[in-house]
């Protein structure tokens, strides 16, 4: 009986040091869902065709550093260019690649592309950078 108890205690200690703690796993999942929510808000605003709604989404979901890199007029220009090229967007696939989220899309215009989002690493997981690659029809 004592050997079974000692074995169980040893295995429990071993697993405690090897496996990430449940809190860390929950925090990681929480960060992913926060990031996914920000990406969803970005695409919802972009697909809506309204530059004012897009700016509101940018203010709510971009990091201070990303907001500082472009003023509101430049963000409106970005919105017009992307919406003009793609139209309303349909998300096809999203994958996490380290600190980035890669989202494959198809626009109402038939244009496909990939949006890659980088997040700021804070608990708020604000969008730090966006890279857009248009892939054609």
**Per-residue model confidence as pLDDT tens digits over 49-86:** 999 999 999 999 999 999 999 999 999 999 999 999 99
Mean pLDDT of 122-136: 92
Which of the residue ranges 10-14, 96-100, 130-134 would you say has the lowest mean pLDDT? Answer: 10-14
Q: In 3D, which of 95, 102, 104 has the Cα closest to residue 116?
A: 102
Mean pLDDT of 116-132: 96
What pLDDT was estimated at residue 21?
Answer: 40
What b/e string do you get for 73-102 counting C-beta neighbours within 10 Å, with b at 16 or more?
eebbebbeebbeebbebeeeebeeeeeebe
Domains of the chain: 2-136 (3.10.450.50)
What is the residue-averaged pLDDT of the chain? Answer: 82
**3-state DSSP assignment of residue 44:** helix
* Residue 30 clears pLDDT 70, i.e. is over it: no
pTM of the model as a whole: 0.75
CB 34 within 8 A of CB 125: yes
Rounded Cα gap, residues 20 and 136, in angstroms? 42
What pLDDT was estimated at residue 29?
Answer: 46
């Amino acid at each position: 009986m004592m050997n079974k108890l000692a074995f169980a205690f040893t295995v429990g200690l071993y697993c405690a040091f090897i496996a990430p703690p449940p809190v860390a796993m929950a925090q990681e999942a929480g960060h992913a869902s926060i990031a996914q929510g920000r990406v969803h808000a970005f695409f919802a605003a972009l697909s809506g065709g309204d530059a004012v709604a897009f700016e509101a989404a940018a203010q709510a979901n971009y990091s201070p550093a990303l907001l500082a890199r472009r003023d509101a007029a430049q963000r409106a220009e970005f919105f017009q260019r992307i919406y003009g090229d793609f139209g309303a967007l349909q998300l096809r696939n999203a994958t996490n690649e380290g600190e980035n989220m890669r989202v494959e899309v198809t626009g109402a215009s038939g244009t496909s592309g990939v949006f890659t989002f980088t997040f700021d690493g804070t608990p708020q997981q604000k969008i730090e950078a966006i890279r857009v690659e248009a892939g054609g029809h």
